[in-house]
Amino acid sequence: MDTGDRPAIQGKAALLQEYQRMLGPDEFHPFVHNHIIDLEGDGARGTCYLDVRASVNGRSMIGSGFYQDRYAKVAGKWRFRSRRLTMCYFVPLSEGWAEQQQER
C-alpha cells in the first residue's frame, strides 16, 4: 500500500501493524465502489473509488479518494501487486471540502 507520503507498506503483517497504528481507537467506515479493471494477461490494473465517514478524536470526518491497483495472477489466484491511495480530501464534516478545493 502506497499513500504517497511515506514508504510503501509491504506484507500482511506490516499492513496490519500500520492500519492499527493509523486508525488507533478512531472509527472508520470506508465505502469502496466503481471498480474498473483492465486485464493484461496474467496481470491487471484497476481503479476504484473511496468514500469514508469517520469519527476521529470525537469529530465527524468525511473523505473521498481513489485507489490505483495492480494485480497479478499467481498459482491461479489473483493477488494485489500494489495499491496506491490518493485522497482528494479528508476534512471535518462541519467544515466541508469546498474551501480546500478552492485553495488548489
pLDDT of residue 95 exceeding 60 = yes
* Short-list 34, 36, 37, CA closest to 64: 34
> Greatest CA span in the chain, whole angstroms?
48
How much is the pTM? Answer: 0.78
Three-state DSSP at 15 gives helix
- In the chain the domains, ranked by start, together with CATH numbers, are 12-92 (3.10.450.50)
Q: Are strands 43-56 and 59-74 parallel, antiparallel or unpaired?
A: antiparallel
The values of phi and psi at residue 14, to 5°, are: -65, -40
State pLDDT tens for residues 28-83.
999 999 999 999 999 999 999 999 999 999 999 999 999 999 999 999 999 999 99
Structure confidence at residue 104 (pLDDT): 57
Structure confidence at residue 14 (pLDDT): 83
Separation between Cα atoms, residue 12 and residue 43, nearest integer Å: 20
